[in-house]
């Protein structure tokens, strides 16, 4: 009895500021634990970029290389956005590389052989891409053939059709207006010294927009009593991202300005982030991937969801095919090789779960950038393609293993 009293007398209540600090720490720990994949991959990307900046003697962050890095990896970023939606449903698409090559070949026939105007040819190519996605989506969603089999068949079919259309030869060149989509830059009207004014202005505007969206998001979360990050952590996060945005736009300003394809990619990120996070359609995609049977019983038309994510993937694969053809200024039978592997790897590296229902657009973009920086950095260093493939494979395996490990820890296994 005396011992209990002594124990109680030695226990002092926490002061209010100590309580706040403890609660903030616990809140931060909880949020970091729930988003460990996303934050871990973002940190990994930063560390990889710093590493290659040192190993390449500053070449990685040079203005010309930053621009080339964006343009070279634009197809992966586009495909990763569409692939994430499919992976969220617990499926996969192995045909996107062949579809991209097929659409590039069709576009070349339209523009070079048939002299169809560029806007009409692009529209027709996107419609054909949607039909390709609809064809595959039908077999997967309504006939219930596994996506692996259907898209594997699609990979073979559309690769074969590409070679038939091109007759095994390269078809070139495209009009300058078509090349502008993949290799062009926003008009340069004003310069500040040797810097492109538009690029600097875009960096400032994006920074202000990010601050506004971040605090609006916090306000909405507080309104509905959702968990938010401590203010200090939020401000640190905002400062780091703003520095990153303005370093990027400064480097672009020092070369030729904002690439047109970057505007296209940012538009896709904004649109699809809104769809996945703020719309009923997005919630349905996550629900199907989380538990398809439960989603069906709750009234979600799972067949329709699966069908439309493949239609969407067909359109984005077509867009990626046009971007690649425009950048190469040619349609080739070998275009699109291994594109599907890069897109799938980007999603898994960026935090998507192999079982579906988990993942974000920004995570897929981070994953694509990890792959892109690895490719670019190793190429600058003169690392052979054999070792590049080996290292990329190990990175993918490590990312999925990390996903399995964090799940087992979360579930207490």
396 Rama class: left (phi>0) / alpha (psi -120 to 50) / beta: alpha
Q: How far is Cα 339 from Cα 72, in angstroms, rounded to an integer? A: 12
CATH assignment, 35-184+261-402? 1.10.3470
Whole-angstrom distance, CA of residue 292 vs CA of residue 39:
28
pLDDT of res. 44 = 81
Chain Cα centroid distance, residue 19 = 39
Q: Is the peptide bond before 336 cis (omega within 30 degrees of 0)?
A: no
Instruction: Report DSSP letters for 273-324, one per residue.
Output: HHHHHHSHHHHHHHHHHH-HHHHHHTT--HHHHHHHHHHHHHHHHHHHHHHH
Q: Is the dihedral of CA 356, 361, 366, 367 positive or negative?
A: positive
Mean pLDDT for each 10-residue chunk of the chain (413 residues)? 46 50 56 62 84 89 90 92 94 94 95 93 96 96 94 95 91 89 81 83 91 86 76 84 91 90 93 92 93 90 94 96 92 90 90 85 91 89 85 81 69 54
**391 vs 33, 81, 397, 398, CA distance in Å?**
27, 23, 10, 11
Separation of alpha carbons 84 and 365, rounded Å: 10
Q: Torsion angle of alpha carbons 234, 205, 182, 256, nearest 10°?
A: -110
| pLDDT of the residue at 9 | 44
**pLDDT of amino acid 112:** 92
**Token pair of 218, please?**
């916090």
* Domain residue limits, the chain: 35-184+261-402, 185-258
- Round to whole Å and give the CA distance between 241 and 249: 12
Q: Please report the pLDDT score of residue 154 as a whole number.
A: 95
242 C-beta neighbours (distance < 10 Å), count:
17
Q: What are the angstrom distances between the C-alpha of 380 and each of 44, 181, 273, 409?
A: 20, 26, 33, 39
Backbone angles phi, psi at 105, to 5 degrees: -70, -45
Query: How would you label 305-330 residue by residue, b for 16+ Cβ within 10 Å and e otherwise?
Result: bbbbbbbbbbbbbbbbbbbbbbbbeb
Half-sphere exposure for 143 (CA within 13 Å, toward CB) = 12
Strand spans (E) along 73-231: 191-192, 195-196
Burial of 334 (0-12, 13-18, 19+ CB in 10 A): exposed
Give pLDDT, residue 193. Answer: 74
Written as six digits, the tokens of 328 are: 């190469």
Structure tokens at 66: 């930053």
Residue 5 has a pLDDT of 46
């Amino acid at each position: 009895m005396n011992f209990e009293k002594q124990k109680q007398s030695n226990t002092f209540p926490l002061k209010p500021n100590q309580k706040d600090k403890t609660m903030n720490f616990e809140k931060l720990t909880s949020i970091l634990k729930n988003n460990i994949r996303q934050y871990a991959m973002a940190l990994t990307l930063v560390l990889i970029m710093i590493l290659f900046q040192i190993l390449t003697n500053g070449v990685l962050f040079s203005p010309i290389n930053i621009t080339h890095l964006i343009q070279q990896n634009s197809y992966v970023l586009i495909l990763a956005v569409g692939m994430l939606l499919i992976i969220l449903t617990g499926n996969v698409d192995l045909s996107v590389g062949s579809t991209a090559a097929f659409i590039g070949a069709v576009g070349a026939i339209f523009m070079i052989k048939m002299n169809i105007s560029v806007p009409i040819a692009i529209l027709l190519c996107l419609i054909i891409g949607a039909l390709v996605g609809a064809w595959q989506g039908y077999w997967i969603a309504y006939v219930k053939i596994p996506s692996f089999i259907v898209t594997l068949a699609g990979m073979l079919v559309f690769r074969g059709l590409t070679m038939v259309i091109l007759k095994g030869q390269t078809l070139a060149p495209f009009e300058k207006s078509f090349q502008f989509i993949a290799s062009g830059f926003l008009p340069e009207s004003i310069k500040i010294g040797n810097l492109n004014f538009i690029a600097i202005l875009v960096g400032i505007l994006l920074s202000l927009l990010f601050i506004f969206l971040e605090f609006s998001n916090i306000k909405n979360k507080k309104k509905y009593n959702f968990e938010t990050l401590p203010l200090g952590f939020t401000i640190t996060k905002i400062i780091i991202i703003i520095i990153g945005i303005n370093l990027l736009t400064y480097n672009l300003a020092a070369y030729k300005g904002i690439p047109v394809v970057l505007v296209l990619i940012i538009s896709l990120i904004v649109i699809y982030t809104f769809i996945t996070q703020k719309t009923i359609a997005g919630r349905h995609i996550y629900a199907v991937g989380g538990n398809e049977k439960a989603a069906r019983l709750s009234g979600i038309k799972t067949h329709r969801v699966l069908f439309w994510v493949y239609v969407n993937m067909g359109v984005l694969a077509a867009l990626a095919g046009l971007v690649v053809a425009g950048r190469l200024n040619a349609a080739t039978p070998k275009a699109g090789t291994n594109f599907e592997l890069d897109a799938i790897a980007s999603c898994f590296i960026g935090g998507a779960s192999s079982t579906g229902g988990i993942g974000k657009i920004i995570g897929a973009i981070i994953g694509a950038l990890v792959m892109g920086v690895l490719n670019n950095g190793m190429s600058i260093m003169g690392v052979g393609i054999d070792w590049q493939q080996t290292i990329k494979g190990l990175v993918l395996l490590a990312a999925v293993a990390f996903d399995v490990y964090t799940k087992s820890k979360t579930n207490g296994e």
